[in-house]
Amino acid sequence: MTKALKINKNAEQGIKEFLRFLLESGKVKGVFSLKKINKEGAVAYSLITDPKDLEDSVPFYPVMPVTAGSLLSRFTLKGSPDKPVVAVMRPCELRGFVELVKREQGSFENVFTISMTCGGVYPLDMAVDKKIEKNLPKYWDAVKKSEIPADVRTACKGCTEFKPYTADITVDLVGNKDIDKQCIILLNTKNGESLADGMDAEFLEKKLDTKKLDVLLDKRAVEKKKLFDEIDKKMNGMDGLIDIFGRCIGCHGCMRVCPICYCKLCEFESPDSEYKPSNYNSELKKRGGVRVPPGTMYFQLGRLTHISISCVGCGACDDVCPVGIPVSTIFKKVGESVQKIFNYIPGKDVKESIPLVTFEKEEFIEFEE
């Protein structure tokens, strides 16, 4: 049982009221949340300090423009805010931020986190022409019933980690049939409790209804298995990979939006990885042909060695791939199997080291010959 707050408004109005209370009481200096930009349904993350601007904020809007993890990392990279800021983000975004903090690319100092049991988000390209707007009633209906909303992103359909690990505050959305009438805000940590302290609302003892979460978990697990099985059939060695990545145009968009890919000087974009005439010559001599620009497979495999250990399955890479390569399914699948051998769950605990920067003296004997 954790302390919880009940606000008798719909979930979005409820959390907005809570955020307004935080701003007005001075408990936080700013609110980091999705905010509407225009009437077409375009949203972006914004840091809001004036309670008036909260009117346009849409904390639970089912789209993920850039992962909040990457954004918070940029926000806190050169130093934490001097006054507390509260960020509303999805569980995968939070996991991404935790992974970045582990890499010293951000900090939790003066950053409080609000997350939710997440119903998933729509693909980024639906954030135009009010496409998401029109889907909202269906979306919330599905979330209420612990179902997977139609048309959400592939990564979300197969996501089984829709309950945040480390959020200070969790908003109960999935399977909560009363989200039209009330907003249940669970205060998971001391920080969360102190934020809610003094708010004029009903306090109660509550916990997430795991049964309702499990209903969704089962559906998502089925979907995930289907996705993984499908991609597994295609990933048969180099031929399979060429099949999958053959249409990559080398825009490196997946890398740019990835919350784990944080290097400012990327190996794959450095002049070093540029082919010189001699490289072309030797390749031509060896193979009798070469794809131009070269290095696609090197990029993808290389990124797998960098990311797989910490892939949080946010699906941002899928969202931006202009040629529809199922990047996130592949990375999540490979990622999970790699994470398994290190017994590591990315984003679960900020104090746990990344497996590659630590070691046990006796382990992985099976990999030696």
Please report, as ranges, the residues that interact with other proteins according to CB under 8 A. Answer: 235-242, 246, 267, 286-291, 294-298, 301-302, 304-305, 308-309, 333-334, 337-338, 341-342, 355-357, 359-364, 367-369
Smallest gap from Cβ 340 to other proteins, in A, equals 9
| Cβ proximity to other proteins, 210 vs 270, nearer residue | 270
Single-letter code of the amino acid located at 362: E
Smallest gap from Cβ 264 to other proteins, in A, equals 18
Angstrom distance (rounded) from CA 328 to CA 314? 8
3-state secondary structure of 204: strand
- Per the listing, tokens 């609302």 go with 201
Residue closest to 66 by CA, chosen among 253, 304, 332: 253
Smallest gap from Cβ 292 to other proteins, in A, equals 10
Helix axes 237-245, 210-234, angle to 10 degrees: 110
- DSSP-assigned letter for residue 291: -
Smallest gap from Cβ 207 to other proteins, in A, equals 36
| Cβ proximity to other proteins, 195 vs 338, nearer residue | 338
Angstrom distance (rounded) from CA 139 to CA 119? 8
Structure tokens at 142: 């599905």
Single-letter code of the amino acid located at 271: P
- Got the DSSP string for 330-364? HHHHHHHHHHHHTT--TTS-TTSPPGGG---SS--
3-state secondary structure of 184: strand
Smallest gap from Cβ 232 to other proteins, in A, equals 8
| Cβ proximity to other proteins, 51 vs 302, nearer residue | 302
| Cβ proximity to other proteins, 47 vs 241, nearer residue | 241
| Cβ proximity to other proteins, 199 vs 290, nearer residue | 290
Smallest gap from Cβ 329 to other proteins, in A, equals 12
Q: Considering Cα of 307, then 217, then 115, then 317, what sign does the dihedral take?
A: positive
Angstrom distance (rounded) from CA 162 to CA 167? 12
Smallest gap from Cβ 239 to other proteins, in A, equals 8
Q: Considering Cα of 174, then 127, then 251, then 78, what sign does the dihedral take?
A: negative
| Cβ proximity to other proteins, 38 vs 343, nearer residue | 343
| Cβ proximity to other proteins, 51 vs 355, nearer residue | 355
